[in-house]
Amino acid sequence: MSIAIIDYGAGNLRSVEKAFQKVGVDAEITKDKNTIRGAKGIVFPGVGSFDSAISELRTQSLEGVVEEAIALGKPFLGICLGMQHLFESSEEGKAKGLAILPGSVKKFAFAGSPWASLSIPHMGWNRLLFKHKAPIFEGIEEGTMFYFAHSYYAVPKDEMIVATRTDYGIEFVSAVWKDNIYGIQFHPEKSGEAGLKLLKNFGNLCH
């Protein structure tokens, strides 16, 4: 198997699996540790709340498997909440993140600002502004639109890991990249051809 999609009991995993299959990438939803260890790439498509999702990952003793895969240099893709879990903490809850990347996760707060009319969560299509173009964006142009659905955003301590930013009242970090670690705040499985291209690119990294 090429890619293991970590099953921690949340929804939308099947749509991610189907998107990979659509572009000819072998991907499987699994919670089996040996299957994850044998995979050539790992995807963590988080949905739900920060605390409940990370708690379920730890309840199933999958945290160490994720850390091991990353340490071995396997391509890792965190989607939406899965990206946020790469950091140390979140304003959404009290649980500790995986702390693989230094930084925290903050909530959009527009009250009293010129952007007070912007709705939270940030939902719908928005464009990416490249800062450090990661391999998963190969063949994807600056300004390409992707689909977002989130109220929180990552604030990395290291600006060098910021791959893209997106403007929603503020310029927030919409993708990160460090070595074999990729995190994206948007949903590629809901982003049409551009999202499929990104997933295909990730699949190509998993040899």
Q: What are the pLDDT digits (tens) for 102-141?
A: 999 999 999 888 888 999 999 999 999 999 999 999 999 9
Distance of alpha carbon 48 from alpha carbon 81, whole angstroms = 8
177 in Cβ contact with 187 (< 8 Å): no
Region 190-202 average pLDDT: 98
37-79 tens-digit pLDDT? 999 999 999 778 999 999 999 999 999 999 999 999 999 999 9
Region 89-94 average pLDDT: 96
pLDDT at position 192: 97
pLDDT at position 46: 77
Confidence category of residue 207, pLDDT binned at 50, 70, 90: confident
Domains of the chain, residue spans:
3-205
Q: Which CATH class is domain 3-205?
A: alpha beta
pLDDT at position 155: 98
pLDDT at position 176: 98
Give me the percent of the chain exceeding a pLDDT of 90.
89
15-43 tens-digit pLDDT? 999 999 999 999 999 999 999 999 999 99
The catalytic residue positions are: 80, 187, 189
Cα distances (Å, whole numbers) of residue 202 to 33, 121, 129, 188, 193: 21, 27, 19, 11, 14
**Whether residue 12 has pLDDT greater than 80:** no
Distance of alpha carbon 152 from alpha carbon 168, whole angstroms = 12
